[in-house]
A = this chain, B = another copy of it.
Amino acid sequence: MSKKLKIGLFGFGVVGQGLYDITVSRHLNLEIKKIAIKDASKKRSLPSELFTTDRWEILNDPEINTVIELINDAEAAYEIVSYALKNGKNVVSANKKMIALHLEELVQLQRKHDTALLYEGAVCGSIPIIRNLEEYYDNELLYAVSGIFNGSSNYILSKVFNENQTYGDALRKAQELGFAETDPTLDVGGYDAKFKVCIAAAHAYGLFINPDDVLNIGIQNLHLSDMKYVSEKGQKLKLVPVAKKRNDNEVSIYVLPKLVERDDFLYNVENEYNGVSVQAAFADQQFFFGKGAGGHPTGAAVFSDISALRYDYRYEYKKTLVEEKVDFNNEEVIQVYLRFNQQRLLQELPFISIDETFSCKQYHYVVGSVRLADIFNAKDAILADGAFIADTGKYVAHTETLAEEAVCCNID
């Protein structure tokens, strides 16, 4: 039978209000008792006695057994969530940054204090990817999890590529619609997507990774010449986080813009939609598509977590418990398109092999194979140059063979 939930809600922004809309339209065994907000002066649509600016009114209320954390500030969120978990309250959060930065500790807290932290809304909005990794693929061998995890940058790319809007106009529109984070670098720089793919990797591979060790370059430096290159090839450009197995023991994780072919499902994921592609040994290719941003879609994911808490559901992180552990590293070699301004960038970013070069008065580009660790080390130089780098999506077969090929190329 379902458990009565008394809820303390932190944050009443787009997602918090979306959640409230969903909650009141259902007749479930739950009650939102108190809502903690930062700004008491803001006009609210609900009675003022429901609100408080004092977090302890929720955290120290023994009647409240469930905390929903939907605030922006990752550090404050961490304090709230860890305090709640330590004090016997179950928690639902949609704060990907906070979860990605503290996941290993948060899992330990759950185990130690027999409480649950659910966060479907933190990864790809309405798409139930965490639940599926956790439950359905719990014993599947997963080759790769990738996709479009950030609705805001995808919205911008759609407007820029399909409607010829400028990058700036598209970004402003995304912010107006509530898709974008307050700090746009989180979205367009690939940080948001990185936090999400790190969380997914915990469920897909049993890995807890420090996001600082993971490469992320976004669409900040997208230039007309890059758009021309992509369009001429009949492709589209998407910002794609990837977590994939290199072999039985190693996993690569990175976020880069990617050139996407017409027959790829990601090709048709437009605007604020997200898409998650899962490549599994037996289930084969799987694809999940849904709204990745906005109050109601994310609210729906949060609501589904709340609903699951009524039945004492919790993540088991089963893949962290298996014996055959995998390691994360940046040894993977991928083929990239790199458009740049200063030739000296190629000294900072050593290519293993170069397949195409192009130069004109305004800019240069190369297409070639490069190690993730080398992109990681050259990130500042790439961004400072105004360069744009994108994964071509062409599969690079074997590092060993490649090194040999690279030698050949260099001799040529």
1/0 contact string of A280-297 vs chain B (CB within 8 Å): 101111111111000011
Residue A231 is within 8 A (CB to CB) of chain B in the complex: no
Q: Which applies to chain A's interface (DSSP): helix, strand, loop or mixed?
A: mixed
Contact B287 A139 (CB under 8 A): no
Measured CA separation A297–B288 after assembly (Å) = 16
Residue from A268, A286, A308 having most chain B Cβ neighbours under 10 A: A286
Residue A398 is within 8 A (CB to CB) of chain B in the complex: no
Closest Cβ neighbor of A23 among chain B residues: B139
A87-141 contacts to B (CB < 8 Å)? 120, 126-128, 131-132, 135-141
1/0 contact string of A24-50 vs chain B (CB within 8 Å): 011010000000000000000000000
1/0 contact string of A298-342 vs chain B (CB within 8 Å): 011101100110000000000000000000000000000000000
A–B Cβ pairs within 8 angstroms, 12 of them: A25-B141, A26-B139, A128-B135, A132-B132, A135-B304, A136-B304, A283-B297, A284-B291, A284-B300, A287-B287, A287-B289, A289-B289
Contact B265 A282 (CB under 8 A): no
Contact B126 A284 (CB under 8 A): yes
A2-26 contacts to B (CB < 8 Å)? 18, 21-22, 25-26
Do A290 and B297 form a contact, CB below 8 Å, given A136-B128, A139-B303, A304-B140?
Answer: no
In the complex, besides A21-B282, A268-B268, 5 extra interface pairs with C-beta distance below 8 angstroms are A126-B283, A126-B286, A131-B132, A282-B296, A288-B288
Residue A412 is within 8 A (CB to CB) of chain B in the complex: no
Contact A285 B280 (CB under 8 A): no
Residue positions of A touching B, CB distance < 8 A: 18, 21-22, 25-26, 28, 120, 126-128, 131-132, 135-141, 263, 265, 268, 280, 282-291, 296-297, 299-301, 303-304, 307-308
Measured CA separation A139–B392 after assembly (Å) = 41
Contact A296 B268 (CB under 8 A): no
CB distance from A134 to the nearest CB of B (A): 10
Enumerate chain B residues within 8 angstroms of A290, measured Cβ to Cβ. 283-287
Measured CA separation A224–B304 after assembly (Å) = 47
Contact B296 A139 (CB under 8 A): no
The 3 closest A-B pairs by CB, nearest first: A287-B289, A282-B300, A126-B283
Enumerate chain B residues within 8 angstroms of A303, measured Cβ to Cβ. 139, 282
Closest Cβ neighbor of A294 among chain B residues: B284
Contact A300 B283 (CB under 8 A): yes
CB distance from A299 to the nearest CB of B (A): 6
Enumerate chain B residues within 8 angstroms of A21, measured Cβ to Cβ. 282
Enumerate chain B residues within 8 angstroms of A283, measured Cβ to Cβ. 126, 290-291, 296-297, 300-301
Do A139 and B28 form a contact, CB below 8 Å, given A282-B22, A283-B126?
Answer: yes
Closest Cβ neighbor of A267 among chain B residues: B268
CB distance from A300 to the nearest CB of B (A): 4
* Contact of A299 (CB < 8 Å), options: B127, B282, B299, B300: B282
Measured CA separation A288–B285 after assembly (Å) = 11
Enumerate chain B residues within 8 angstroms of A26, measured Cβ to Cβ. 139
Closest Cβ neighbor of A282 among chain B residues: B300
Closest Cβ neighbor of A270 among chain B residues: B263
CB distance from A321 to the nearest CB of B (A): 10
CB distance from A25 to the nearest CB of B (A): 8
Residue from A127, A297, A304 having most chain B Cβ neighbours under 10 A: A304
Do A289 and B286 form a contact, CB below 8 Å, given A128-B132, A268-B265, A307-B139?
Answer: yes
